[in-house]
Amino acid sequence: MIQMIANRSAISGQVLTLNTKGKRRQDRRRPVLPLAQAFPNLIGKKNVKDDSITVEVIKDEILKELKYKEATNTDSIDATYSAVAWSVHNRLVDSFNKTHEHWKREDPKFVYYLSAEFLMGRTMTNAINNLGVEGAYSEAIREIGSDMEKITSMEVDAALGNGGLGRLASCFLDSMASLDLPGWGYGIRYKYGMFKQAVAADGRQLELPDKWIPEGGNPWEIRRPSVRFPVGFYGKVDSDGLWTPSEIVQAVACDVPIPGYRTRTTSNLRLWDCEPMQEFDLDAFNAGEYEEAVISRRKADEIVAVLYPNDATEEGKELRLKQQYFFVAASLQDTLARFLDAHDNLEILPEKACFQMNDTHPTIAVPELMRLLMDVHKLEFNKAWEITRKCLAYTNHTVMPEALEKWPVVVLEKLLPRHMQIIQQINDNWLLTVKNHVEAKFASSMPQIADPGDVATEDSEEVEADPVEDAMKEYSIIQENPWNQGEMLVNMAYLAVVGSFAVNGVAAIHSEIIKEDIFPQFVEIFPEKFQNKTNGVTLRRWLAYCNPELTDLITESLGTSDWIKDATLLSKLLPMANDKSFRQKWRDIKLERKRKLAQHIKTVTGYDVPVESMYDVQVKRIHEYKRQLMNAVSLIHRYQKIKAASPEERAKMVPRVSIMGGKAASAYYMAKKIVALINAVSKKVNNDPDVGDLLKVIFLPNYNVTEAEIIIPAAELSQHISTAGTEASGTSNMKFALNGSLIIGTMDGANIEIAENTGAENLFTFGVDAKDVPRLREERKDFKEYDQRWLDAFSALRDGVFGDVEYFKDLVDSVNDMTKGNDWFLVANDFASYMDAQDAADCLYADEEEWTKRSIIYTASNGFFSSDRTIQQYADEIWSVKPCRP
């Protein structure tokens, strides 16, 4: 029997307290509300615990699994992991079933989070802790002679995402379930996730396939062979607009239960696997056409074979569009089928369902929902359009022009001919709106003609441009490719904006940039659509579970663990920053985490790193805009400085361990060279006896969620140094801040809001402002104006101090000699101020009390970046979805 345990004090009536530096934030954002109003569904919420889950019961379950499913005993760690996992699975399914029975009865409005990526990482620790059965499980595991840490380390990450966007989707699912919001994620069950990265002997990146699904079945999913939908491709559209696809596959549901934190809600991530309509063509086989006989299986497998390993650089590949349409078509059919089970009037669909499109990847939902409503359910265009626009919302995650998807009309016409017709019709209607808008605007702004002589005549030299025609070209969803005359492209971001009722960016600055630079035309016509929803991260995974020692200290100091679900409570730590003994405890925990990371580094790379040094971390996807190159060059400079220093000078230097990690997209030429450069610097520096412990440079391969969980709690300084205006938000900055790591960074993405919360003086900020970037890109600096430290570092690179000069040449050229129009990301330009910020960090680190004080301030000030807050805002301001607690 599930029981509510009233062991928590009510937290209602509390006012969000902020430090004085947070004042500006309060004014600009939502007013400071009493907690009861800000998080109504958290209030009075008690931890839920099932008393029937005893150590004995769990032990029994695990041993049964071992005996009957694994047919072995506890000698095998693999089998023990599997047995524990299946036991947790059963627990999840119990809670999942109860939640869904309840939701079915209550019929609340649902949000469906459509995302091509979910970067889940490991499940076991998160599930056991969210369910509140961690004590019973560790004891049961101990009693069968094993160890929790060993068991959990057996799990392979589910890396069905590239980076920030996919991880955000997973944090959002955790928050939705924890807030009891009726919501599902929808995505693709890729057979191979994000590639595994290794480093070759020459320091270059190697990519290996990531086969993440266990041979004996995945304990974290429920496969539902009976939930399947057909998805068509190619074929013809007849004169009545009816589409007959020439290739049809089946989408099969695999449900991943998502347990909320200490609540009875366990929601769902439904991932689609793909199967052929007909497994095997016996006629073809009998006719000796063996390849033909299995061709439909091969085609189906291809669709869900692999996650595209691109981040911010998308290539217009047909297979990618096929993947996008595959999961969107299945998800929409699935939701409509469930809706029609309970209702018969599609006009109320917007009262029951909202689809959040995670970036442009699911934008094909716009014409697909139209098609289903018109062609299958026989609604007329205008009615279908009204419903569609009330159901869909779109989040933009990037301003990188190459990542704003544009599909060639010819590809769409071939793969999805009916959808292309619908897009055409949407665009025609849209352009009519544009025409009316511009004409009205033009008419109202036309000066009164006083003198007929002012009017341009036919033989005036300049022919006036037609503003209506210009606007229609500029606002059109279908546009000519500027780089390939004659090729027409569908701008998916424009389609998403026109087809949805809300559009949001992911940090305050980013939401302004998209309004000003990406969609100004659309803002003019429907300003009310545009919003900001600053990203957040789940404090469960990113503080409570990955940093248990710090969690215990926080809980002990606050006298409650309620901060894990109400992150605003962290601000109560603020006064403790002034308490010397508290600072000592804080430091001891950091040291312990550094020890663990040092051990990990030793195991993975073989290098010994001292725990007394400052642990400086930059981990994220490798991209020129994220400027890992700037970090690498600064390390070359640091190396040169150490080499040139006298023993007395060396004694005064602050020792550092610089840790970098991240994957380069397989087709990203420059990013791969950056990985090789970091490894070259690492090899040189770590093997130079002159340097000793003053500097260690570590590249940790295969950065993923699990690595992040080890690295982030140990960091003392973390780098978020993108060119201003390029990083939409960043989310690792939030994770580091919450774990008490100081930030060196630019005024970009969410760094700006972190600075507002933490107090700008507590960050090491540097670099140009976003508004100056376009001018600086134009204004090319002469080589001689570069910072001397930069020039010296580069001459070492050119002289071969770090190996293969020829291999690094293009990389060096890409940031040097701006007279050639290089250095698009202003690495050289920002280098001097970056080095000043680095010096300031060294200087402060020498004062350990002051450093610790700031570290505490970071944790205390950044509860705002909990994804619970973000999701509450989406639910209130976009989705209109209310909690429905089983």
**Do residues 557 and 529 lie in contact, with contact meaning Cβ atoms separated by under 8 Å?**
no
Interface with ligand NBG (CB under 6 A), residue from 11, 165, 614, 734? 165
163: contact with ligand NBG by CB under 6 A: yes
Which one is catalytic: 100, 270, 397, 572?
397
Which one is catalytic: 228, 262, 735, 854?
735
Provide the 8-state DSSP code for 310. Answer: -
Interface with ligand NBG (CB under 6 A), residue from 397, 590, 684, 789? 397
**Do residues 801 and 684 lie in contact, with contact meaning Cβ atoms separated by under 8 Å?**
yes
Backbone angles phi, psi at 828, to 5 degrees: -65, -40
Interface with ligand NBG (CB under 6 A), residue from 300, 303, 403, 642? 403
127: contact with ligand NBG by CB under 6 A: no
Interface with ligand NBG (CB under 6 A), residue from 125, 205, 296, 398? 398
Which one is catalytic: 91, 533, 593, 626?
626
- 626 tagged catalytic: yes
3-class SS of residue 89 = helix
Give the residue with the Cβ less far from ligand NBG, 400 or 488. 400
Show the binding pattern over residues 529-568: x = contacts ligand NBG (CB under 6 A), - = does not.
------x---------------------------------
Give the residue with the Cβ less far from ligand NBG, 164 or 259. 164
Choose one: 164-172, 291-299, 652-660, 872-880; the region binding ligand NBG (CB under 6 A). 164-172
Interface with ligand NBG (CB under 6 A), residue from 18, 92, 222, 312? 312
In the range 576-595, which residues lie near ligand NBG by CB under 6 A? Answer: none
405: contact with ligand NBG by CB under 6 A: no
Greatest distance between any 2 Cα atoms in the chain:
99
What gap in Å lies between CA 143 and CA 709, rounded to an integer?
27
Give the residue with the Cβ less far from ligand NBG, 749 or 767. 749
**Do residues 616 and 656 lie in contact, with contact meaning Cβ atoms separated by under 8 Å?**
yes
Q: Smallest distance, Å, CB 358 to ligand NBG?
A: 9
What gap in Å lies between CA 390 and CA 510, rounded to an integer?
24
Give the residue with the Cβ less far from ligand NBG, 194 or 553. 194
What gap in Å lies between CA 178 and CA 540, rounded to an integer?
10
3-class SS of residue 324 = helix
Choose one: 17-25, 209-217, 396-404, 782-790; the region binding ligand NBG (CB under 6 A). 396-404
- 59 tagged catalytic: no
Which one is catalytic: 228, 620, 637, 720?
620
368: contact with ligand NBG by CB under 6 A: no
Choose one: 282-290, 366-374, 397-405, 646-654; the region binding ligand NBG (CB under 6 A). 397-405
What gap in Å lies between CA 150 and CA 21, rounded to an integer?
43
- 620 tagged catalytic: yes
Q: Smallest distance, Å, CB 379 to ligand NBG?
A: 33
Choose one: 161-169, 212-220, 451-459, 492-500; the region binding ligand NBG (CB under 6 A). 161-169
Residue 162 CB neighbours (<10 A): 22
Give the residue with the Cβ less far from ligand NBG, 199 or 307. 307
3-class SS of residue 718 = strand
Q: Smallest distance, Å, CB 120 to ligand NBG?
A: 15
What gap in Å lies between CA 145 and CA 575, rounded to an integer?
44
Interface with ligand NBG (CB under 6 A), residue from 662, 701, 749, 803? 749
**Do residues 90 and 171 lie in contact, with contact meaning Cβ atoms separated by under 8 Å?**
no
- 397 tagged catalytic: yes
Which one is catalytic: 529, 621, 623, 853?
621
Choose one: 160-168, 195-203, 537-545, 640-648; the region binding ligand NBG (CB under 6 A). 160-168
Q: Which residue matches tokens 């890992």? A: 628
**Do residues 877 and 548 lie in contact, with contact meaning Cβ atoms separated by under 8 Å?**
no
Give the residue with the Cβ less far from ligand NBG, 252 or 507. 507
Provide the 8-state DSSP code for 616. Answer: E
**What's the CA angle centered on 445, arms 444 and 451, to 5 degrees?**
105
Interface with ligand NBG (CB under 6 A), residue from 359, 716, 753, 756? 359
Residue nearest to ligand NBG (CB): 164
Half-sphere exposure of 62 (CA within 13 A, CB side): 30
Give the residue with the Cβ less far from ligand NBG, 513 or 857. 513
| Three-state helix/strand/coil letters over 160-207 | ECCCHHHHHHHHHHHHHHHCCCCEEEEEECCCECCCEEEECCCCCEEE
168: contact with ligand NBG by CB under 6 A: yes
Q: Smallest distance, Å, CB 162 to ligand NBG?
A: 6
Nearest one of 166, 164, 161, 277 to 210, comparing CA atoms: 161
Amino acid at 817: D
What gap in Å lies between CA 182 and CA 270, rounded to an integer?
14
Give the residue with the Cβ less far from ligand NBG, 727 or 830. 727
Give the residue with the Cβ less far from ligand NBG, 403 or 844. 403
What's the gap between Cα 715 and its chain centre? 21
Question: Which residues are registered as beta bridge partners of 211?
Answer: 192
Is the dihedral angle over the CA atoms 222, 223, 224, 229 positive or is it negative? positive
- 696 tagged catalytic: no
In the range 715-744, which residues lie near ligand NBG by CB under 6 A? Answer: 727-731
- 735 tagged catalytic: yes
The residue count for binding ligand NBG (CB under 6 A) is 18
Nearest one of 367, 374, 314 to 496, comparing CA atoms: 367
Q: How many residues does the chain have?
A: 886
Range 728-750 burial, b when 16+ CB lie within 10 A, else e = bbbbbbbbbbbbbbbbbbbbbbb
Show the binding pattern over residues 487-506: x = contacts ligand NBG (CB under 6 A), - = does not.
-------------------x
For ligand NBG, the binding residues (CB under 6 A) are: 163-165, 168, 311-312, 359, 397-398, 403, 506, 535, 727-731, 749
Residues involved in catalysis: 397, 620-621, 626, 731, 735
